[in-house]
C-alpha cells in the first residue's frame, strides 16, 4: 500500500494553486474540469505522483467557501530551514500563524502557515 494524496476542498482554485505553487514551491502536476459534475480537480506536489504523495485540490464550481470543522488538523511539510521558510512565505504574501521556534514541551523547531482557505500547514525542519 502507498499513500497517494490528501484532498482539500477550496473556494478559489486560482488563489489556491497560486499559493501552493508560488509560495509553497509545489508543481501543478495535472488539472481537469469535470463539467457534468461541476467541479475541477488539481493535483500538486514536490515530485511525480508515481513516486510521491501529492495534494488534490477540489473546487466545486457552486461553492465559494467551506466550514473547516474541528476534526481537521494540518498538513506537514518538511523544509530545510523553518525560520527561512517563514520569511520566504511571508515575503510571498503567505500568512504565518505560528512563528518558527521550538515546539511547546519539546525541542523540534516548527511553524504554522495558512493557505487561502484557512487550512493549516505545519513546517518542520529536516531531521
Residues classed as catalytic? 122
Max Cα distance, the chain (Å):
50
Closest CA relative to residue 83, chosen from 102, 64, 70? 102
Query: To which residue does cell 510571498 refer?
Result: 92
Q: 19 and 116 in contact (C-beta within 8 Å)?
A: yes
What is the grid cell recorded at 35? Answer: 463539467
Nearest to 78 by CA among 118, 99, 108: 108
The answer to whether residues 40 and 31 touch, using CB atoms and an 8 Å cutoff, is yes
Query: How is residue 106 written as a grid cell?
Result: 519539546
Amino acid at each position: 500500500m502507498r499513500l497517494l494524496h490528501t484532498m482539500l476542498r477550496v473556494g478559489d482554485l486560482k488563489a489556491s494553486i497560486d499559493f501552493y505553487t508560488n509560495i509553497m514551491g509545489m508543481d501543478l502536476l495535472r488539472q481537469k474540469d469535470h463539467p457534468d459534475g461541476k467541479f475541477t480537480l488539481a493535483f500538486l506536489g514536490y515530485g511525480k505522483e508515481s513516486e510521491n504523495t501529492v495534494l488534490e485540490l477540489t473546487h466545486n464550481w457552486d461553492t465559494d467557501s467551506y466550514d473547516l470543522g474541528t476534526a481537521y488538523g494540518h498538513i506537514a511539510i518538511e523544509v530545510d530551514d523553518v525560520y527561512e521558510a517563514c520569511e520566504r512565505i511571508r515575503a510571498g504574501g503567505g500568512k504565518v500563524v505560528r512563528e518558527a521556534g521550538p515546539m511547546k514541551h519539546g525541542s523540534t523547531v516548527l511553524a504554522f502557515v495558512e493557505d487561502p482557505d484557512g487550512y493549516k500547514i505545519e513546517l518542520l525542519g529536516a531531521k
